[in-house]
Amino acid sequence: MQTYFSDLLVIGAGLSGERIAVEAAGAGFGVNVLSIVPARRSHSSAAQGGMQAALGNCAMGKGDCPDVHFADTVKGSDWGADQEVARMFVDNAPIEMRQLAFWGVPWNRVVPGKSTFFKGGEKFEKIEEEDKEGLITARAFGGTAKWRTCYTSDGTGHAVMCTLDNRCAQLGINVFDKKEAIALIHDGANCLGAVVRCLKTGVLEAYVARATAICTGGFGRIYKATTNAVICDGGGHAIAMDTGLVPLGNPEAIQFHPTGIVPTDILVTEGCRGDGGTLLDVNKERFMQIYEPEKAELASRDVVSRRMTEHMRAGKGVKSAYGEHLWLDIRHLGDKHISTKLREVDEICQNFLGVDPRVDLIPVRPTQHYTMSGIRTNKDGAAYGLKGLFSAGEAACWDMHGFNRLGGNSLAETVVAGGIIGKKIAEFLRGHEVSFPTKTIRDALLKQQSRIDALIAGKNGRENVYRVREAMQDALMDGCFVFRNGSDLEKCVNVLQEVMERAKAVGLQSSGIGANPELSAALKIQGQVKLALCIAKAALERKESRGSHTREDFPERNDRDWLKRTLAYWPEGARLPRLEYEDPTPYYELPPGERGYGGGKIITADAEKIAKLTIKPGAKPAEAAKAKTAN
């Protein structure tokens, strides 16, 4: 048994993981980072559009500030966000963007003078100020009052990922690829590290540490139609949930992106619409302005996805061999713009669709994209239930997104949260000591080796893991997609329980030796079905519509009964998750109200309760907390 020790173990080498590692290593701690793939191939690299930060440098961002960004974020979340966390995020985002520039991110910059831009297919003119020349510029994104999305053409994730990976190399951080964590090592109170399978040799190893951070991204691959990479399979969530101690936050909060291309579901960035692209129907006519006169294509993602689905239901979709879709039109943006600021979109269209977006329309439809759900943490990134376990990025429910995140806020969250939580982990490590009993480590390894041996021998059955996974994906697509209702959700839960019994009977068709993808899939399948059941069961119980969670049988946003966050635990031996609930935020800087788009009736919350939780305008979170304690 090979055992590796460090002060901090980071599982996942995407942006949030490496940003935490940089912060901890900069504080003098030893860090090991694990990744299934080479770090620069992490899914963070696929992010195209940009990172939101209220810099206010460009003409269309004039007057922007963290307060405006905060209001956009809370409204975007449909008042599901932790407003204390959202405030921390918006205040730190501008600082982080400048830090990234210092480390080498080549942000697009303000070019002074007159230029044109498109909105709703129409051309407008703007004038950039001379004294802003060379400062970080921004583009428009959905659900924002100002242009604040900092970008590097449409390859922002790739640029920032390469920069942070270079920073890790400069600091001597150990980043190990082809390593997959398959279980946490813990003593029931403290997290001690992880059991890790080497994907080159198949050998199990122990990585022990005084603190562990799970930064493995989302779990979109449990859906059939998703923009997520194949590595976004919920492995990090599953190992946390398997402890029986760590809950998922808001598992029903799943985001669907309006513009996944058909049929591959690869994402084309919201930057297309932010830069002036439009959505067209079967008659090649715009329609979003009919539903959303003010925001049109730049309403929040949950709203645009619903409106597109409604329009297709009304018979305005384009029929194809791969199902109905609509069109995204960026032709009017011109060759220069597409070749520079949307070059990855151009490559995706050319390589995967065989169309030229300069002259052709792009077939798109809503597809699963993001999980606002995740390992539930407090504002310091510390996971509920196990001391020494942290999480950040899409893997976590931190919870600044609530029930819908704004485009550009997630990529920014990776580095902003990574910096904040990295500092908190460093503080934790300065005062935390823990013992590593060899028996606890050995028992954890033996338990996982027994799982592997049973799968290879077919001890529990010979169910094909890929067919079981497909059954799970079909159940979620049928019962828990853009629109949901009670009968479909009940059916989804029942089907998934049957799928779970099949998942328990999975056995390998192959030998399981060495770098074996079937074994990797088989080790994850029960955890994936548990995640699916958490989504479906929590969605069934939440009898309201909020953000991305849209119940056709409960169309109102019900602040009276459902202004709360779901916590989903999976006790050992359970057939369904245990659901608990907590307040979504410790205080309201922005009391619940209208979003300004999306429509819908609101059942209001108890005014007296909200008033007691509402802080005075301009008060800082610490001041507000102190005042409430005094009261």
Tell me which residues are annotated as active site.
301
- State how far the alpha carbon of 374 is from the alpha carbons of 217, 294, 495, in Å: 9, 32, 23
Q: Say if residues 118 and 341 touch (Cβ distance below 8 Å).
A: no
Q: What is the spatial distance between Cα 142 and Cα 304, in angstroms, rounded to a whole number?
A: 9
Q: Which two tokens stand for residue 126?
A: 């703007």
Closest by alpha carbon to 142, among 82, 73, 193? 73
- Say what angle helices 438-457 and 517-541 make with each other, to 10 degrees: 100
Report the distance separating Cα 293 and Cα 287, nearest Å.
Answer: 10
CB neighbour list of residue 321: distance below 8 Å, 6 or more residues apart? none
Question: Cα–Cα distance between 277 and 298 in angstroms, integer?
Answer: 10
**Strands ordered across the beta sheet of 248-249:** 396-397, 374-376, 248-249, 565-569, 578-582
Distance CA 314, CA 326 (A): 12
**Separate counts of helices (H) and strands (E) for the chain:** 18, 22
Residues 6+ apart with CB under 8 A from 608: none
Write b or e for each residue in 553-573: b if 16 or more Cβ atoms lie within 10 A of its Cβ, otherwise e: ebebbbbeebbebbbbbbeee
Which residues are paired to 567 by β-bridges? 249, 580
